[in-house]
Amino acid sequence: MRHSPPPVYDESGSMLVELLIAMTCLMVAIGALVSTYASSAISLRHQATEGTATTLVDRQIELYNTLPYSSIALDATTIPSGSDPYVTAHASDPTIPSSAGEVTGATVTAGSCTSPTVPQPSCATQTVTGPDGNQYRVDTYIVSVTPATSGSRAVKQVSVMVRDLPGGVLGGIRARGQSAYDQCNPPSAAGTSC
Residue ranges of domains in the chain: 22-181
CA angle 40, 174, 90 (to 5 degrees): 145
- Mean pLDDT, to the nearest integer, of 145-168? 82
Q: What is the pLDDT of residue 23?
A: 95
d(CA 194, CA 178): 23
Average pLDDT value for the chain: 85
- The string of DSSP letters for 75-143 reads -GGGS--TT-HHHHHHHH-TTSPPGGGB-B-----TTTTBS-SS--TT-SEEEEE-TTS-EEEEEEEEE
Using pLDDT thresholds of 50, 70 and 90, give the confidence band for residue 147.
Answer: confident
Mean pLDDT comparison of 8-12, 132-136, 188-192, highest-scoring range: 132-136
Q: If you count DSSP H runs as helices and E runs as strands, how many of each does the chain have, helices first?
A: 2, 4
Residue 186, pLDDT score: 56
Q: Which amino acid is at 58?
A: D
Average pLDDT score over residue span 143-164:
83
According to the 3-state scheme, what is the secondary structure of 130-153? CCCCCEEEEEEEEEEECCCCCCCC
Range scoring the smallest mean pLDDT among 4-13, 26-35, 94-103: 4-13
